[in-house]
């Protein structure tokens, strides 16, 4: 029998933290005389009150560390339950926004997807836009903790590879999870502050600089502008691409960097592959668009760099004519969105690490066919990859592709056209944030989708964020057996 008390206790404590976060946006709207402050304050009271009651009722159940089943359940409870309360400010403060849309918006923020059902962001109260940015920042930090501490323990998608003591990501640099968490928090907040000051220096107002900084480092994509970065064409695009890229690198490498060791960052096979794939995508799309349009080369390069970095880092910002891309450009965007950025960051998709291992396993199988007697184990960074890692990896990749197909078909059954359905599931499952298709063109949001389609996207966002198997395993009867 699973002891739910430790799970409930941690969830209650997190609700209290969420309530405290709501007070900042409430104070901003209150000082501006905006009535939206009452919606945020009321949401904080409800969230904090329920969280406090849960924590008090289960405080005696927290003993020792979590076992694997409790880790699975805690991860699911946090990401499924938190948006119920995080969506309260949207439901109470945004006109005509019902529970489905409020939950969608909160899930999108916490999973750092960046897809939205709110149109008219420029006219929204500052506190509400700040709340969206805070959801991105909190979600990105939580995801980094899960990716670096929980997923290796839960053996999701081959992430157990990072548990090996000889691998310096989790062994030598920071020996304990507590130390790792503290240093990760410092690095994460430091990057947000640097990004915010940089954005302010190029002319963004305080709200835009703050929200864009939190969303860029968290690879979340929420912007206080309907036009995203179209308000900051030029330097804003270059700097936005830089911070999205920095936010999608393995955070543990930053921890090692501030501890005085820069070699792991430059020598990381995953980081090098990420730079190469992104560089190839930007280079080919830039040349394609330059030869097939009358745009200046610098404009084409800047727009391609920003938007492709946004997609591969699973952020969701956009600029320029990106919503009108088609043909080769759209194919490249689709592929790199599936690949995603680095494991150990808040970015999503398959991640470069998994794609590298899948490619290595495929090459190994081809060699076995050509030379059956040859023993050629799969290796990553000079280390032999175990069969358990490869099995988990292949199951994850197959599950990702199958889930993409099944949810796309389910989306079309709600009345959404095929193109909009495919890219809606693509953007949700990969936590990318921006969609294509006829149903997105009017507003650039998902507000025109039927409620059933929004729930499918919500499920896809959660599945993509939690590594698919973290959720699928919960429906197995054997999981609940002793």
**pLDDT at residue 178, rounded to an integer:** 65
> What three-state secondary structure class fits 445?
coil
Are the CB atoms for 159 and 72 separated by under 8 Å? no
Q: How many CB atoms lie within 10 A of CB 399?
A: 16
Q: What pLDDT, on the 0 to 100 scale, is given for residue 169?
A: 44
Determine the pLDDT at residue 158.
45
SS3 380: strand
Provide the pLDDT for residue 61.
Answer: 67
Q: What is the pLDDT of residue 166?
A: 30
DSSP letter for 226, please.
T
Distance (Å, whole) CA 423 – CA 23: 36
Positions in the chain short of pLDDT 50: 154, 156-175
Instruction: Pick the closest to residue 115 from 105, 101, 129 (CA basis).
Output: 105
Is the whole-model pTM more than 0.85? Answer: yes
What is the DSSP track for 92-124? HHSTT--HHHHHHHHHHHHTT--------GGGS
Q: Token pair for residue 142?
A: 């939580």
Q: Which residue has the tokens 């990318």?
A: 432
Pair 419, 437: CB distance under 8 Å? yes
- What is d(CA 208, CA 126) in angstroms, rounded to the nearest whole number? 10
Provide the b/e sequence for 352-386 (b: ≥16 CB within 10 Å).
Answer: bbbbbbbebbeebeeeeeeeeeeeeebebeeeebe
| Amino acid 391: pLDDT | 81
Within 10 angstroms of residue 155's Cβ, the number of other Cβ atoms is 17
Q: What pLDDT score was predicted for residue 312?
A: 96
Query: In degrees, to the nearest 5, what angle opens at C-alpha 115 toward C-alphas 438 and 340?
Result: 100
């Amino acid at each position: 029998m699973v002891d739910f008390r430790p799970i409930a206790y941690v969830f209650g404590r997190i609700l209290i933290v969420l309530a405290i976060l709501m007070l900042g946006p409430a104070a901003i709207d209150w000082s501006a005389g905006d009535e939206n402050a009452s919606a945020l304050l009321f949401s904080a009271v409800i969230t904090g009150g329920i969280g406090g009651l849960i924590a008090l009722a289960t405080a005696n159940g927290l003993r020792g560390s979590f076992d694997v089943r409790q880790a699975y359940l805690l991860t699911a409870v946090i990401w499924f339950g938190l948006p119920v309360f995080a969506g309260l400010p949207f439901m109470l403060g945004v006109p005509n926004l019902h529970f489905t849309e409020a939950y969608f918006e909160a899930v999108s923020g916490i999973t750092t997807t960046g897809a939205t059902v709110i149109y008219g962001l420029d006219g929204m109260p500052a506190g509400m836009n700040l709340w969206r940015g805070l959801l991105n920042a909190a979600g990105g930090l939580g995801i980094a903790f899960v990716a670096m501490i929980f997923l290796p323990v839960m053996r999701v998608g081959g992430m157990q590879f990072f548990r090996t003591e000889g691998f310096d990501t989790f062994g030598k640099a920071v020996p304990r999870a507590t130390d790792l968490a503290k240093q990760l928090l410092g690095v994460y907040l430091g990057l947000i502050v640097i990004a915010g000051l940089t954005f302010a220096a190029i002319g963004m107002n305080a709200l835009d600089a703050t929200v864009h900084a939190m969303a860029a480092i968290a690879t979340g994509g929420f912007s206080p502008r309907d036009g995203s970065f179209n308000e900051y064409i030029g330097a804003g695009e270059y700097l936005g691409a830089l911070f999205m890229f920095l936010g999608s690198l393995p955070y543990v490498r930053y921890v090692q960097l501030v501890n005085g060791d820069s070699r792991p960052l430059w020598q990381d096979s995953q980081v090098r592959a990420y730079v190469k794939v992104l560089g190839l995508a930007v280079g080919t799309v830039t040349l394609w668009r330059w030869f097939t349009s009358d745009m200046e080369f610098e404009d084409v390069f800047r727009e391609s760099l920003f938007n492709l970095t946004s997609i591969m880092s699973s952020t969701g910002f956009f600029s320029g004519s990106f919503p009108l891309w088609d043909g080769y450009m759209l194919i490249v965007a689709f592929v790199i969105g599936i690949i995603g950025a680095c494991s150990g960051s808040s970015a999503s998709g398959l991640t470069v690490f998994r794609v590298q291992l899948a490619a290595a396993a495929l090459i190994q199988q081809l060699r076995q066919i050509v030379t059956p007697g040859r023993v050629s184990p799969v290796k990553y960074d000079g280390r032999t990859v175990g069969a358990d890692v490869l099995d988990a990896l292949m199951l994850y990749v197959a599950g990702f592709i199958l889930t993409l197909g099944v949810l796309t078909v389910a989306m079309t059954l709600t009345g959404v056209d095929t193109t909009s359905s495919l890219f809606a599931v693509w953007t949700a499952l990969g936590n990318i944030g921006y969609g294509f298709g006829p149903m997105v063109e009017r507003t650039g949001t998902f507000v025109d989708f039927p409620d059933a389609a929004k729930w499918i996207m919500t499920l896809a966002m959660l599945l993509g964020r939690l590594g698919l198997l973290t959720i699928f395993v919960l429906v197995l009867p054997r999981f609940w057996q002793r």
